[in-house]
Structure 1
Amino acid sequence: MLSKGKIPIAHEVIVGLDDEAAKVIDRLVSGSKQVEIVPIVGMAGLGKTTLAKKVYNDRSVICNFHIRLWYTVSQEFNMKNALLKNRYLVVFDDVWDIEVWNELRIAFPNDKNGSRIIFTSRFSNVASEVQYGGEPHYLHPLSEKESFELLLKKVFGKEDCPQGLRGIGMEIAKKCRGLPFAVVVVAGILATIEHDILVWEEFAESLTSTTVSGTDQWKKSLELSYEHLPYHLKACLLYFAAFREDEKIGAKNLMRLWIAEGFVKKIEGKRSEVIAEEYLMDLIGRNLVMASKSRSISGVKTCYIHDLIFEFCKAEAKEEKFLRVLQGYDELSTFIEPPNLPRLSICSNGEDFMKSKLFFLNLGNISLWLKELPTEVESLLCLRYLALTAWYMKFIPPSIAKLSHLETFCLVSGVTVSLPDSIWNMKNLRHVCLRGGVVIHLPSNNNVVENLSILPNLDALSTLHLDLDEEGENILRRIPNVRRLKIFQLGDENRVCCNMSRLECLESLTLRDDYFLGSREHVELSFPMNLRKLCLINLGLPGRKMSLIEQLPNLEVLKLRAQSMEGQKWELMEGGFPKLRVLTLEHAWIVEWTEADPDSDDYFPCLQQLKLSGIPNLEMMPACLGVISTLETITVNFCGDGVKSLVREIEEEQKNNGNENLKIIYKKY
C-alpha cells in the first residue's frame, strides 16, 4: 500500500479566483428574492468549474441554501427527474446547449425565496438565451504573477522554489498565456524532471510560444505532456477514452483493466495491483488524472480526467488505432469493424443497442436475462477479464475452467451463485466479485495435493457466503494471499468460530450476518495482524469481546454497522487501537461508552474521523475524545439530542485544547 505521504489530495490548488468568487457569492446570497441564474462564461481550461466548486463549497453559501445540487451536463444530456423545495442552489456544469435548460426549467419553481442557479459554459450565447438569467460572469486569464504562483504551488506544493529556478519558472509561466489548465499541465511535466536550472532552461526552449498560444494552446500543452510520458503510461492514459466524459471511474476496476490489457509490467516479488496503483499515482502526480475520492485506507477510490484531456485522449487513441469509441445510434448503425481492431468502447443507451444490427451488441443485451454462461464466452480461451450481468444465473458451469488465463471475473446477479470445483484449477484468478453472493465448495477429491487446490494469486473475493466454522476455515486456507475479502456468514446463527490469522496478506475484511438472532457470548474469532480495514455488519459482537479488535496493531478503519456490537456498554481497553484513523458506529443500543482508565491518554492516538449514526440511547462518550489532537471531523446522523449535547461538549473541549479546526457535521438523512 502507498504511504500516507503519497495519497493525492482531491482539493484543487486555486489561484487568482478569490475576487471572482466573492462577486459570484454576493450575487447568490443577496439581491432579489426572485429565482436568478448566474452564468459563468469563459474559454475551455480557464477555470469555470473550479470557480463554481469554490463558490459551491463556500461556508456562507452552504448556510444560505437548504438544498444544493451539482449536475455535470457536458455534451450528452439525459433528463433526470428531481424534486426541489425550499431555497435551493443548483449548479449545471459545462452546458453546451440551451435545450438543457428548456427541458428542465419547469422543475425549478420560482417561490421568490432567493433560490439561485449557476451555469458554467464555454459559450456566451447559451448564457444570453437563458430566462431569468443575470449578466454573465466572464472569467479572464490569470496575470503573469498569478500564473507563476499557480505553477510553483503545483510543482513544489508547500515547499519553497529554489531561488535559481524562479527566473526561468516565470518565463515558463508567461508562455502559458494565463490559461490555468495549461499551467497545470506544464507543472505536471516540471514536477517529474530534475529541478536543475539547465534542465528547466532546456524545457523552456522546447516550450515555444506557439506551443501554448492561441485557441488550441491546451491541445499543444497536452501534446507536450503526452510526449513526456514514459511509454507504459501512455497506454494507461489513452485508456480513459474508453469511459464516458466526466465519469467518476472506480480506481480498482480501472487498475484491473490495465492489468488485463497487459499495460502493467510484471516485477518479481511485487503484486501487479501495487504496480498499477503506482502508475495511477504517477498520472495523478503529473496532473493528467484527478483524484475525486480517496479510500479510507490509503489510495484513490475514484478518479476522473478533465474534459479537455478526455477529448485529447479520444482523438489520440483513434489516430494511433489504439481504441475506437462509438456513441449514439448513428455511429453504432454505420459502424463497420476494421481489421485488427484492438479495442472497442461503446457508450450508448439500451434503446440504441436494440436498434443496432450488430450481433455482439444484441447478444450483450440479451445476456442480461441469461440463466447460464453463453458458450461463446467459454470459447474465448485467452480471456483475462469477464464482467456479466445475469439476474437469474445460479450456477457457473465447470467449463469456465477452460478460461485458464482469466484474471478478473465479475457477475451482477439477483441470486447467490455457486462456483464449480473446477474453479480451483484457475490459478491466474486475481479478482472474483459476485454482488449477489457466491458459494465455493471444497475440491471433491479430498486426496488432491494441497498446493494444487489453492488459488495462489487471488487478491480480492466478494461476497463469499461461508459458514464461519471448521469447513469455512478450510476454504479460507485455500486463498492464502487474498488482500480484500467480503464474507456473508450462513449457518448456525449463534455460532461463530473461525481462525483467520493465517490470512497474513489480508488488509480489508467485511463480515456480515443477517441471520443473527441471539447472543454471541461464545464467539471465537481471530484476525490477521496485518488487517487495516474491518467492517462488521449485524455480527452482534459482545462489548467485552471488542478487545479482539482493539488489539489489532495495524487497524486503521473500523466500521461497526447494524447491531454489530451487542449490549449497552463498551469499555475501551488501554493501549487499544494504536493506528485507528476512522471509526464508524451505526445502529447500536450502546448507552455507556467509556475508557477503562479515564486518567490515561493511551486511547485513539491517531483518530481523525468519528461517525455516529442511529445511536439514540448514548449517554456517555470517552473523555479522551476531547483531548485527541488528531481529531478532524465528527459526523452525527439520526442521533438524539443527548448525543448532540455530548458532541458539543467534545467540540468545546477540543477548542480549549487548541484544536480550532475540528468540524462537526450534522446530517439530516
Structure 2
Amino acid sequence: MNPTSAYAPSRPLLMAECKLLMASIRNTRDQIKNQNISAGHRILHQKFCVAGQGANSTCAGNEWQDQRGDALLLDRTDLVGIDKPTKKLVGWLVNEGTGREVVSLAGMGGLGKTTLAKQVYDDSEVKKHFSMHAWITVSRSYKMEELLKDIVQQLFSADRKPVPREADNMNSNQLKTIIKELLQNRRYLIVLDDVWHINEWDAVKYALPTNNCGSRVILTTRNADLAFTSRIEYEVSGILATKDMRRIDEWEMVRRSLGAEIEGNDKLKNLKKVLSLSFNDLPYYLKSCFLYLSIFPEDHPIEHMRLIRLWVAEGFVEAKYGKELEDVAGDYLNELLNRSLLQVAETTSDGRIKTCRTHDLLREIVISKSREQNFAVIAKEHNVTWPDRLRRLSIHNTLQNVQQNRLSTYNLKYLSLKSTKVATIPSYIGKLQHLETLDLKHAHVTELPVEILKLRKLRHLLVYRYEYESYAHFHSKHGFKALEKIGVLRSLQKLCLIEANLGNGNIMRNSEANPTEKVRCSKVEKEDGKTLCSSIENLSNLRALSLLSVEDEILDLQHLFSPPPQLLQRLYLTGRLETLPHWIPNLASLVRRI
C-alpha cells in the first residue's frame, strides 16, 4: 500500500458517519438553544402542555366542542345590541365603491363577531344586492383544499348550477381557478369566519377577483395584523347578548361580580371556554407574558415600558441576535395586542403606546389560569399571609405586609416603590446584585447611596417626582443628585432623571462607549455644556435624550465635535437656545425633536 494514500471509506460507512455527525451537530445545537432559554422559560416550557407549538398546543381537560354553529342559528329578535352595528356594516357593503373591498370584524374571542357577521350576511338588502355569496368557516384546523371545495359548492349552488364532477379530484390551484372564473364578472359576497392567521387569508385572496362590480369580502378574526390588511376595519368591542327578559337582573349581577359569575353561570362558562382558545393558541413564551398581567389590580392602566421591564426581569424574553431584550419584549407585547389579548389604553403625543389594559372578561381568564399554575401571589388584605416559598408577589393597596413577612431579596430583579412616601434608600441596596430595575418614580427620594454603583446588572434607574413651585412652573420635575462614577454601571439602559447642576454635568465619565439608550437630565446650566457634550459622545447607543435647563439658563450644546449618536431618535430640549446645536442635522434616525 502506498504510505501516502488517503483512507477512503465505503459509501455506506460514509453515510453512517455523516448521520452520526449530523446527529451530534443537532444535539450540540439543542444544548446551546437550551442554554439560551432562561430558567423561568424552562419551567414554563414544562408546565404548559405542548410548549412552543402555537395552534397545536392543547392540554388535557381543555377539549371542548366549538359551539360557533349556534351563533349561525340565532334570530335577530333573540339578540341585544345588534341593530346599530348591523345597519352600519350593511351600509358599508352596499354603498361603498365599485372595487372589491375587504371588511374585517376584529376583536377578542366571544364578543359576537360571528353572530354580527351572520346577521349582516342574512340581511334582506344584502341578499338582494349580491348575486353570489358564500359563508366559509375557517377555524384553526382548516384544510385548504377542503375549504376551496366548500367555496366551489356554495357558489355553484347560488348560481343554480351543478358542481363539476372533476372538482373532487382537483388540487388547490385548479380549485382557485374555477372560483376566480366563476366570480370574475359577478358581484359577490364571501364571508371567511374565524380566520386566525394572515397566511390563511393569503391562501384564498387570489381566488377572489378584484373586479369592478362592487364585490365584498368579510373576515372575522382575533388577529389585528390580519385586520390591518383590509381597507375597512370594524372593531367589535362590546358583547352581543341573547335576550332573557325573565332574568333582566342577570347582567347586573355579572357587572358587580364578573369573576364569580363566570365560574357559577353556565351561560358564561361557554364564554370562558371561547376566550381560553386564544390562550391555548399562544406559544409558551407568550403564555407566561400573558399570565403576568394577573399581578396588576383591576382597572389599573399598565405602563407599556414597566410591563416590558418586568418581563425582561422575569426571564420571559429570549435573546435575539442584534436586538436588546427590551426590543424583543416590545415585539411580544405587539403580538398580544394583535391577538386582541391586550388593548391600548393611552398613547403618547407621537403615537407610541403609553399604557394598555386587559378586557374585564380576559382579566378573569388570566387570574383563573394564573391560579391554576400557582403563577403569582396577590396580597390585597392588610393581614394576609403568603407561603414561605413564592416566585412572584404583588402587593395591592398596602406596604404593611412587607414589614410583617420576611422575604429573601438576594435574587430580586425588579424593585418598584413608585408613588410611595419612601424618602431614603438604605445602603443595603448594594446587596441586590441581581437587580435590573429600580423604579422610584413619584417617591420622595432625592439622593441615592453610593452603594447603588455595586449593581452591575442594573438596566433601568428611574428616579423623579413632580413638585408645585409656582404658577409658571406648576409641574416642575425633580430627579436625583448625580453620582460622580455612575458611568461604571455598564448594563444601564435608561437613566432618568439625573440632576446636572452641581458641577457634575458629565453623566458618563467612562472613556469607553456606554450602552445607555435613554437619558433624562435636569437642572442643566450653561457651564455644564462641555461636559454634557463629552458624555453624549460616549453614548453611542443613545436613542432618546431629554435635557431640562435651570430656569432662564441657556442650553449650550455646541461643543459636540465628534459625530453624534447615530441611533438617536427622540431629542427633547427644554430651556433657552441661543442657536440650534450644529450636530442636529446629522441625526439620521431622528423622528421627533422638541
What's the TM-score, normalizing by structure 1?
A: 0.46
Q: What is the CA-CA distance between 1:284 and the residue it aligns to?
A: 1.5
Kindly indicate whether the alpha-carbon contact (under 8 Å) linking 1:460 and 1:483 is maintained by their aligned counterparts in 2: yes
498-507 or 394-403: bigger deviation: 394-403
Partner residue, 2:589: 554
1:360 aligns with 2:401: yes
Partner residue, 1:244: 297
Separation in 2 of the partners of 1:490 and 1:512? Answer: 6
Q: 1:460 aligns with which of 481, 491, 494?
A: 494
Residue type at the aligned position of 1:264: V
Q: Which structure has more RCO (C-alpha within 8 Å, separation ≥ 6)?
A: 2
Partner residue, 1:190: 197
CA offsets, 1:191-237, max 9 Å, x none?
A: 4879658xxxxxx9xxxxxxxx9644432222222111111111111
Kindly indicate whether the alpha-carbon contact (under 8 Å) linking 1:191 and 1:286 is maintained by their aligned counterparts in 2: no
Larger radius of gyration: 2
Q: Residues 247 and 167 (structure 1 numbering): CA distance in 2 closer, same or farther, change over 3 Å?
A: farther
Partner residue, 1:537: 574
Q: Residues 217 and 458 (structure 1 numbering): CA distance in 2 closer, same or farther, change over 3 Å?
A: same
Kindly indicate whether the alpha-carbon contact (under 8 Å) linking 1:296 and 1:557 is maintained by their aligned counterparts in 2: no
Q: What is the CA-CA distance between 1:506 and the residue it aligns to?
A: 0.7
Residue type at the aligned position of 1:509: L
CA offsets, 1:588-613, max 9 Å, x none?
A: xxxxxxxxxxxxxxxxxxxxxxxxxx
1:307 aligns with 2:307: no
Partner residue, 2:482: 440
Separation in 2 of the partners of 1:307 and 1:42? Answer: 21
Kindly indicate whether the alpha-carbon contact (under 8 Å) linking 2:544 and 2:569 is maintained by their aligned counterparts in 1: yes
Partner residue, 1:291: 344
Kindly indicate whether the alpha-carbon contact (under 8 Å) linking 1:523 and 1:541 is maintained by their aligned counterparts in 2: no
Q: 2:392 aligns with which of 339, 343, 351?
A: 343
Separation in 2 of the partners of 1:419 and 1:268? Answer: 34
Residue type at the aligned position of 1:337: W
Kindly indicate whether the alpha-carbon contact (under 8 Å) linking 1:226 and 1:234 is maintained by their aligned counterparts in 2: yes
Kindly indicate whether the alpha-carbon contact (under 8 Å) linking 2:500 and 2:523 is maintained by their aligned counterparts in 1: yes
1:411 aligns with 2:385: no
Residue type at the aligned position of 2:571: L
Give the superposed CA RMSD.
Answer: 4.7
Kindly indicate whether the alpha-carbon contact (under 8 Å) linking 1:246 and 1:306 is maintained by their aligned counterparts in 2: no
Kindly indicate whether the alpha-carbon contact (under 8 Å) linking 1:291 and 1:303 is maintained by their aligned counterparts in 2: yes
Partner residue, 1:142: 116
Q: Helix, strand or coil for the counterpart of 1:260?
A: helix
Q: Helix, strand or coil for the counterpart of 2:573?
A: strand
Partner residue, 1:382: 411
Q: What is the CA-CA distance between 1:547 and the residue it aligns to?
A: 4.3
Residue type at the aligned position of 2:394: S
Q: Residues 323 and 522 (structure 1 numbering): CA distance in 2 closer, same or farther, change over 3 Å?
A: closer
Aligned length: 363
Q: Helix, strand or coil for the counterpart of 2:354?
A: strand
More strand by share: 1
Residue type at the aligned position of 1:524: H
Separation in 2 of the partners of 1:320 and 1:407? Answer: 25
Q: What is the CA-CA distance between 1:424 and the residue it aligns to?
A: 3.0
Q: What is the CA-CA distance between 1:474 and the residue it aligns to?
A: 4.5
Q: What is the CA-CA distance between 1:435 and the residue it aligns to?
A: 1.1
Q: What is the CA-CA distance between 1:322 and the residue it aligns to?
A: 1.4
Partner residue, 2:98: none
CA offsets, 1:382-436, max 9 Å, x none?
A: 1111112587766544432211100000114665633344333322101000014
More helix by share: 2
Partner residue, 2:506: 472
Residue type at the aligned position of 1:508: A
Separation in 1 of the partners of 2:192 and 2:308? Answer: 24
Q: What is the CA-CA distance between 1:287 and the residue it aligns to?
A: 1.7
Kindly indicate whether the alpha-carbon contact (under 8 Å) linking 2:525 and 2:549 is maintained by their aligned counterparts in 1: no
Separation in 2 of the partners of 1:494 and 1:462? Answer: 17
Residue type at the aligned position of 1:248: P
Separation in 2 of the partners of 1:423 and 1:243? Answer: 28
Q: Helix, strand or coil for the counterpart of 1:545?
A: coil
Separation in 1 of the partners of 2:152 and 2:299? Answer: 32
CA offsets, 1:103-157, max 9 Å, x none?
A: xxxxxxxxxxxxxxxxxxx9xxxxxxxxxxxxxxx999414164899x99x99xx
- Structure 2 residues without counterparts, runs of 5 or longer: 1-77, 89-110, 123-132, 154-190, 205-219, 221-265, 466-478
Partner residue, 1:528: 565
Q: Residues 494 and 169 (structure 1 numbering): CA distance in 2 closer, same or farther, change over 3 Å?
A: farther
Q: Residues 144 and 42 (structure 1 numbering): CA distance in 2 closer, same or farther, change over 3 Å?
A: closer
Kindly indicate whether the alpha-carbon contact (under 8 Å) linking 2:442 and 2:463 is maintained by their aligned counterparts in 1: yes
Q: Residues 507 and 363 (structure 1 numbering): CA distance in 2 closer, same or farther, change over 3 Å?
A: farther
Residue type at the aligned position of 1:558: R
CA offsets, 1:29-75, max 9 Å, x none?
A: xxxxxxxxxxxx987xx799x97xx9xxxxxxxxxxxxxxxxxxxxx
Separation in 1 of the partners of 2:348 and 2:151? Answer: 34
Kindly indicate whether the alpha-carbon contact (under 8 Å) linking 1:409 and 1:433 is maintained by their aligned counterparts in 2: yes
Identity percentage of aligned residues: 27
